[in-house]
């Protein structure tokens, strides 16, 4: 029996015609077509499996990239939360600083109110002081004018002695001369050959010299010719530098005479 089986198996392996006849008897028809279809199916399945493997591979790669992106996003999120935490801390500090600033502003407002109170008090004191100063100024102005008049009267009183000594003109007093409303001389002395036109000042300034020169010109226009006109300024103090006063006097041909007290007069020159 076993030899028959071995013989049949040998024929199936080695004899193709025998094998096909057996398959026909067993009802297996068009074996090649079935094998071909099976092969095609296996090939398609294999291809599908390979494509599925490729898709799976791609999916794993994509999944790997996704996880990498997720990891990056997690890292970025962590950094963002760190920044948010820092911003919250900074924001807290800012609010604390704002609170301090409002406290400082409140203090400054209180200080400002106090300062304005002091300013109002100072203004009140200033107004009072201004009224006092104005009163003192009026008093000083009046006193200054009074002193000036006294000094000018003193100069006028002792001036005739200097005129007698300097020009040899016998005169007891120096009288005034008024030409018009704009031209008046404090002192007027007339001799046979000369006329002294005198301006008396407590404090001498260059404008006084110019004013005298203007009045002298007015006098020349009206005075008869033939007499020497000598313009003189008799004063007690210099209100400007002596050099400037002398230059002005020289420019207008005016003699400067300084009164040192009583009969002491000095003819000032360079």
| Domains delineated in the chain | 147-268 (3.40.1350)
Output the pLDDT for position 188: 95
Q: Hey, what's the torsion of the CAs at 184, 187, 189, 194, to 10 degrees?
A: -70
Question: Other CB atoms closer than 10 Å to residue 234's CB: what's the count?
Answer: 25
Three-state SS at 263: coil
Output the pLDDT for position 139: 46
Output the pLDDT for position 214: 95
- Do residues 164 and 150 make contact, with C-beta atoms less than 8 angstroms apart? no
Residues, the chain: 270
Q: Is 197 exposed, middle or buried (0-12, 13-18, 19+ CB in 10 A)?
A: buried
For the chain (270 residues), the mean pLDDT of every run of 10, in chain order, is 73 76 68 60 67 78 80 81 80 79 78 77 66 52 59 91 93 89 89 94 95 94 86 95 95 95 88
Output the pLDDT for position 256: 97
Residues 6 or more apart in contact with residue 244 via CB below 8 angstroms: 206
């Amino acid at each position: 029996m076993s030899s028959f089986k071995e013989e049949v198996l040998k024929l199936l392996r080695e004899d193709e015609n025998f094998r096909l006849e057996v398959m026909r008897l067993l009802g297996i028809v068009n074996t090649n077509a079935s094998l071909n279809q099976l092969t095609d199916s296996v090939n398609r399945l294999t291809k599908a499996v390979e494509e599925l493997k490729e898709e799976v591979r791609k999916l794993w790669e994509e999944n790997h990239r996704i996880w990498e992106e997720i990891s990056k996003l997690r890292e970025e999120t962590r950094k963002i939360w760190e920044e948010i935490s820092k911003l919250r801390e900074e924001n807290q500090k800012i609010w604390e600083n704002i609170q301090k600033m409002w406290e400082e502003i409140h203090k400054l407002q209180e200080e400002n109110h106090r300062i304005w109170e002091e300013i109002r008090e100072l203004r009140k004191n200033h107004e009072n002081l201004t009224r006092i100063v104005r009163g003192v100024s009026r008093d000083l102005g009046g006193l200054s004018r009074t002193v000036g008049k006294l000094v000018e009267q003193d100069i006028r009183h002792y001036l005739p002695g200097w005129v007698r000594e300097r020009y040899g003109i016998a005169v007891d007093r120096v009288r005034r001369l008024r030409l018009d409303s704009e031209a008046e001389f404090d002192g007027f002395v007339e001799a046979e050959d000369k006329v002294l036109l005198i301006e008396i000042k407590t404090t001498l300034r260059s404008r006084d010299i110019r004013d005298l020169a203007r009045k002298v010109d007015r006098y020349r226009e009206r005075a008869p010719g033939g007499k020497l006109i000598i313009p003189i300024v008799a004063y007690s103090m210099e209100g400007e530098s002596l050099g400037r006063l002398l230059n002005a006097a020289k420019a207008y041909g005016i003699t400067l005479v300084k009164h040192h007290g009583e009969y002491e007069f000095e003819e000032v020159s360079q």
